[in-house]
Amino acid sequence: MSNLKDIIEKTVKNYGCELYDIDITEEGGHKYFRIYITKPGGVNLNDCEAINNMLSPIFDVEEPIHDRYFLEVSSPGLERKLTKKEHFSKSIGERVKVTTNEGEKIKGVLKSFNDDIAEIGNKKVHFNDIKKAKTYIDWNNYKGLK
């Protein structure tokens, strides 16, 4: 998949977007190969459709999954998973929810991410100690996108 990831990354970049993540899941008995993209100012439906159309012929030759699947290209959304160090670096100033490997739940603004340490509110947690993390919106105080 490494070579395929490089192809996906190059295709996304050539279109003016950035590859955020790739996810393979199974839901309701169907497999999904999901590609999440970002770009300054946000991703729109035309971006997703164009990248999907560019990748589909490639996937006809070099299948990402050796089974039937659905290809989806989308934005990771306002509330998105943080699975890579670069996700944390790019999310400084946003609200995050983190669950550690020990089960501790930490919620607050991501103040910094240096030397693999995320500072969330008054807590610090090492990247390797994070089981799952995501950004979140305080919907009670949400003013919309600007």
pLDDT at 3: 87
Do the beta carbons of residue 54 and residue 73 sit within 8 Å? Answer: no
Q: Flag whether pLDDT at 101 surpasses 70.
A: yes
Residue-wise burial string across 101-113, b where 16 or more C-beta atoms lie within 10 A, e elsewhere? eeeeebeeebeeb
Report how far residue 24's alpha carbon sits from residue 64's, in angstroms, rounded to the nearest whole number. Answer: 9
- The CA-based angle 49-146-53, given to 5 degrees, is 5
pLDDT at 64: 86
Do the beta carbons of residue 11 and residue 54 sit within 8 Å? Answer: yes
Taking the model in full, what pTM does it have? 0.82
Residue 83: closest CA among 34, 123, 45: 34
pLDDT at 62: 83
Going along the chain from its start, the domains and CATH numbers come out as 2-74 (3.30.300.70), 85-141 (2.30.30.100)
